[in-house]
Structure 1
Amino acid sequence: MTETQRDILSAGFSLTLIALAAFVMQRFFLPLIWAGILCVATWPLYLRLRARIGHGVLAAALLTLLVAAVFIVPALLGVTQAARQAPELANYVVSANTDGIAVPDFVRHLPVIGDSLTEWWQATLSQPHGLAHLFAERQINGFHSASDIIKLAGVGFMHRLVDFGLAFLCLFFFYKDGEVLNRQITNIGSRWFSELRWARYSDKIPTAIRATVNGLVLVGLAEGVLIGVAYWLAGLKSAVLWAAATGILAIIPFGAPLAFVSAAGVLAFGGALPAALGVIAWGTAVLFVADHFVRPGIIGNATRLPFLAVLFGILGGVETLGLVGLFIGPVVMVLFVTLWHEAQTHREDVGSPVATPR
């Protein structure tokens, strides 16, 4: 057997093992990715906690519990509140689908679009099973009782709960063995590429993830708090729950309007049209400042990405990968821009200390 044949056979064997491992672990990719994102984003905090405690395993366990609590406590409050209102909401959906929904008075009096919107409402939502036809692609037509809706929601919740637990289990081991894993990845990367070139790319990833977490998560939660104040002042029922939902949706750029427009709709249905307009105006102002100035500034300044690269990375990541794409998209754009700058250098300088991005 020649050296070329041996190399081909060895490469095929390696690729087969990688493909089999990916096939076996495909169910766990999403929890692993979330654990990796959380680990990278909070790694400096873990190092400080380990230095103070002096025990790596204990520090990993404590920080894992702390990070989990940040997610669990608001989620439990939201689930508790939602569970109290779920039967009432489910029965309303079923009865609205069976009997139709009458046109609200404020819809009839809307300027310009009031007449056409009223006509559309009467032809669809006011008709029996009109709601089912409107959302036929979401299989609402198959629901026959409120228990069916709750059962479907419960299955989805349990599926997410398993992913949630696996993610934090992985996060503990990432903290505990993170330095060893990082050395192993660095050794492999340096062997496949030049050491300097691997360092140039790998150093960008933690910066991009931390900047994205700060720019998306923290800013989104701040939007939820600010818009939640408007909910409370407007007298919206369950204002805290609405604020939590707004903060979660605000993590996605342009996702907050879905929450505060829905909240305004609830207020308008209750006859509080001025309060509904005030919520929309305040939410739009907060959203404009956050999405056009704060987020691009935080992410772009840290990663040195232009505004369009930040925007396309976030929106494109969500479109192709879902929620986790919020964090993967900007990382991909950072690596692409690094490659773009590297391509402007002389080919023989790639991997050299003098081949710095212009």
Structure 2
Amino acid sequence: MDYPRQLLDLPRMLFSVTFIALMAIACFWVVQPFILGFAWASMVVIATWPLLIKIQAILWGRRSLAVLVMTLLLLLLFVLPVSILVSSIVENSTPLLDWARDPNRISLPTMLWLQDVPMVGNKLYTGWQTLIAGGGAPLMTKVQPYIGRSVTWLLSQAFSLGSFLFHCALMILFSVLLYIRGERVALAIRHFAIRLGAERGDASVLLAAQAIRAVALGVVLTAIVQSVLGGIGLAVAGIPVAIVLTVLMFVMCIAQLGPLPVLIPAMIWLYWSGDTTWGTILLVWSCVVGTIDNVLRPIFIHMGADLPVLLILCGVIGGLLAFGMIGLFIGPVVLAVSFRLVWAWVNEAPSPGKMHDPEKHLGE
């Protein structure tokens, strides 16, 4: 029996695709304010899920008590430091801007302590004084506008903390919900991934979770430890605006630059001001803080996955420029997940060394 042939209904297809596209755009428009907060919460929950399970086992298997403990930890790690940072920025922003914009307040230090350097101290001091007398002022005049712009940009980013606090509140709220329904959400995501890409889709979800945990453990956790220890050293040594410098140190550590770009100028300032005792103490402490990542990072990376340093650096800078302060966390994770997925897809094909030599076959 012959059935009538179905004709291609092109207008129907166009209207269907248009309707689906409009619904997708409308949904994105509605959930847009919550995307960054939910993405941040997903990263936090994936990275800390093993800790939640351990706490739940300790608290008689009660998920509610474990979620309460994790919520308190998130408040302690995010809300409290941000509140202290806001108050510190409000107190120190005006003097810092005045200092950066006034050329008369920016001058090269005399560095009298150079004379005490063995063997080459007098030559170093004489050369430094010659630089100050001959070209120090013009040099600082040229550098000063860039210093002012840099400080103004950093403070503008800091003053956008209102948006950061909003996303931080959303992150905590979504984290609580994900902690409560984590298994169901993970199962739904894996089911959706299987629907899209079968086994490869499910493997992609697992690889993405591994990359997120790698960034959280190998990068963020190491940066938190180093910046906290470095901030303690700055505060004990009496460095001004130690809280702001601690946050800057945290950014440097996430960018894989380490805490020394902040600690070394602090040591120089202590020696320059004549406080050689605390300068030496901070020098010893900086050696400990600057090298502790060599011990921590291999341990944390073993718990996650190894990632290229350049990838993390690009993620930090790009995330900061694209999303503000929250981009410090989202940027590296986005690039890390993409890198792991692309690399897994590339490794599905044999490497060039294992393939047959085409010239050999052509010669035959």
TM-score by length of 2: 0.71
**Aligned-partner SS, 1:38:** helix
Alignment partner, residue 261 of structure 1: 264
Aligned counterparts of 1:153 and 1:5: Cα–Cα separation in 2 = 49
Give aligned pairs, total: 326
Task: Specify which of 77, 80, 90 is matched with residue 70 of structure 1.
Answer: 77
Give, in angstroms, the shift of residue 277 of structure 1: 7.4
Higher mean displacement: 113-122 or 41-50: 113-122
Alignment partner, residue 170 of structure 1: 174
Unaligned regions of 5+ residues in structure 2, if any? 1-6, 115-123, 321-327, 352-364
- How big is each residue's C-alpha offset from its partner over 1:144-196, in whole Å with a ceiling of 9 and x where there is no partner? xxxxx99x6784232322222122222222223333332222222111111x2
Q: Is the 1:64–1:172 contact (alpha carbons within 8 Å) kept by the matching residues of 2? A: yes
Alignment of 1:298-337 (within 5 A): 298=299, 300-305=301-306, 309-322=307-320, 323=328, 324-337=330-343
Higher gyration radius (CA): 2
**Aligned-partner SS, 1:171:** helix
Aligned counterparts of 2:133 and 2:282: Cα–Cα separation in 1 = 23
The one-letter code sitting in structure 2 at the alignment partner of 1:134 is Y
Give, in angstroms, the shift of residue 56 of structure 1: 5.0
Unaligned regions of 5+ residues in structure 1, if any? 142-148, 346-358
2:183 is the counterpart of 1:179: yes
Q: Is the 2:100–2:151 contact (alpha carbons within 8 Å) kept by the matching residues of 1? A: no
Aligned counterparts of 2:17 and 2:188: Cα–Cα separation in 1 = 20
Aligned counterparts of 1:249 and 1:164: Cα–Cα separation in 2 = 21
2:113 is the counterpart of 1:103: no
Give, in angstroms, the shift of residue 264 of structure 1: 2.8
Alignment of 1:190-229 (within 5 A): 190-194=194-198, 196-228=199-231
Aligned counterparts of 1:76 and 1:326: Cα–Cα separation in 2 = 24
Alignment of 1:233-272 (within 5 A): 234=237, 236-237=239-240, 242-243=245-246, 245-247=248-250, 249-272=252-275
Aligned counterparts of 1:77 and 1:202: Cα–Cα separation in 2 = 37
Structure 1 residues 191, 4: closer, same or farther in 2, change over 3 A?
farther
Q: Is the 1:108–1:118 contact (alpha carbons within 8 Å) kept by the matching residues of 2? A: no
Give, in angstroms, the shift of residue 105 of structure 1: 0.6
Aligned counterparts of 1:330 and 1:317: Cα–Cα separation in 2 = 8
Aligned counterparts of 1:117 and 1:24: Cα–Cα separation in 2 = 59
Give, in angstroms, the shift of residue 238 of structure 1: 6.2
The one-letter code sitting in structure 2 at the alignment partner of 1:301 is H
Higher RCO structure, 1 or 2 (CA under 8 Å, sep 6+): 2
TM-score by length of 1: 0.72
Aligned counterparts of 1:5 and 1:278: Cα–Cα separation in 2 = 77
Q: Is the 2:217–2:303 contact (alpha carbons within 8 Å) kept by the matching residues of 1? A: no
